[in-house]
Amino acid sequence: MKNTIFYVLLAVVFFSCHSIKLKDHRFSKPVNTSDREIKIDKRTTFSIDGSTVLADNNFDGSRLNGFRKESNVFIATISPENEPINYSPYYSFRIWSTEPKSIQLKLEYTLARHRYYPKISQDGEHWEEISSEKITFVDDSTHVILDLDLTKNKLWVSAQEIHNSTDVKEWCSKIDKDARVRFSEIGKSKLDRPMWMLDLHNGEIKGKDIIVLMTRQHPPEVTGYLAFKSFVEELLADTHLSKSFLNKYRLLVFPLMNPDGVDLGHWRHNAGGIDLNRDWAYYNQPETKVVANKIVDIRNASKSEVILGLDFHSTWYDVYYTNDYKPKQIAGFKDFWIEGIQTQLKESAKEAAAQTGGPVSKGWFKRQFQAESITYEIGDETPRDFIATKGQISAREMMKLLVLRRGN
């Protein structure tokens, strides 16, 4: 009887040591992530009396807050969902004319300066940058004027290519055909949109070290999402390296952290009016809460360790934001990984290592799991073919390093 009690107690102690709880974290630079009111961009078709020109925002991922004409210039008004906010003035709309017409269109921001170079499309799928000859910077580059040739066919004008929740789901469903992928809904956003996860592994999951990938905490950051897609697809390539890697590791992949913000065409925030990448301390927003709980629950259920978190974003240029500490599980990984990418690409993307004072995902992985964590940033206008190549090479370099790692 005593032996039985001893082994029961030993099992309880072992399990309790192995399991962890989702913790609140006190960061040195806290952020209030309680709900703030937002203004939802009303979906409508805009028309101007006496003009053949129309515009609309009747699609997910659009943003057009007003449309008017002054003298001979049409003006598209672009406003944020709320304030204060990061200056990432996102816009996306369609414009056309009932008869062929050449016009000047001004992008007028009610807050912030122009940031994203305009892209145009005839179908919302195939995009190109507008010719430099057809764009003029005005008001000390605060706004821009576009020269557009319109027909009755709708012309898409957008800050970045559109990858809304429908597009993301289609991509997830496509790669879900791979036997090593499990695609599932794990919860709901503020406005009841689905939160998705891709679970990548091969064979037994118990005890496999876990790597987490996430993207689109900030809606306009499409270039980070493009790198993320290329990265994930390379993990599933039909190669010996990929097969060896997925035999050894498990990846939890979150392809759309902010579905409401993406579909509503937000500059930065979710439907709660909050920057989700400042909500990794107390999880006040449903999106961060769902994902954080899921990662911890899976880690505990499989008796595994989370060793690495990669969060894909966009900014003005390519950069790796890293932590200034050495994780015990994969010490040295960061330096070898970035060096390997730079060697393969012959690039010199910056690394910015700093203490994590604010409640961002990079700091959360460090505090919650003592894991390595990197914010992987791609420039707003980085060439798309280079982004795809960089995503592939980044994935390969990660797999090479971790397949060779001793242990699990």
Helices (H), 58-217: 165-175
Which of 158, 192, 211 is at the close of a domain? 158
Which of 130, 158, 186 is at the close of a domain? 158
Same domain, 233 and 95: no
Take residue 354 and report the two structure tokens written for it.
């700093």
Same domain, 180 and 196: yes
Q: Give one DSSP letter per residue of 195-242, joined into a string.
A: EEEEEE--S--TT-EEEEEEE-SSTT-HHHHHHHHHHHHHHTSSSHHH
Q: How far is CA 202 from CA 149, 182, 234, in A?
A: 52, 11, 15
Domain residues for the domain of 121 are 45-158
**pLDDT for 407:** 60
Which of 140, 158, 176 is at the close of a domain? 158
Same domain, 218 and 330: yes
User: Under a CB-based contact definition with an 8 Å cutoff, are residues 354 and 321 in contact?
Assistant: yes
Task: Tell me how far apart the alpha carbons of residues 1 and 327 are, in angstroms, rounded to a whole number.
Answer: 42
User: Under a CB-based contact definition with an 8 Å cutoff, are residues 313 and 221 in contact?
Assistant: yes
Nearest to 66 by CA among 58, 54, 78, 84: 78
What pTM did the predictor assign?
A: 0.94
**pLDDT for 252:** 98
Q: Give residue 60's identity as a one-letter amino acid code.
A: D
> Which residues are CB-contacts of 60 (< 8 A; sequence separation ≥ 6)?
164, 165, 166, 262, 263
**pLDDT for 69:** 97
Give a yes or no: residue 58 inside a domain. Answer: yes
Q: Read off the CATH number of the domain in which 239 is found.
A: 3.40.630.10
Task: Tell me how far apart the alpha carbons of residues 311 and 366 are, in angstroms, rounded to a whole number.
Answer: 13
Q: For 307, what's the count of Cα atoms within 13 Å in the CB-facing half-sphere?
A: 23
Residue with tokens 């697809």: 233
Q: Read off the CATH number of the domain in which 76 is found.
A: 2.60.40.3120
Give a yes or no: residue 286 inside a domain. Answer: yes
Q: Give one DSSP letter per residue of 300-343, joined into a string.
A: HHTT--EEEEEEEEEESS-EEEEESS--STTTTHHHHHHHHHHH
**pLDDT for 284:** 98
Number of domains in the chain: 2
User: Under a CB-based contact definition with an 8 Å cutoff, are residues 266 and 81 in contact?
Assistant: yes
Could you list the mean pLDDT of each consecutive 10-residue stretch along the chain, which spans 408 residues?
42 54 95 97 95 98 98 97 97 98 98 97 97 96 97 98 98 98 98 98 96 98 98 98 98 98 98 98 98 98 97 97 89 95 90 86 96 97 98 98 81
Same domain, 267 and 306: yes
**pLDDT for 408:** 53
User: Under a CB-based contact definition with an 8 Å cutoff, are residues 320 and 351 in contact?
Assistant: yes
Decide: helix, strand or coil at residue 384: helix
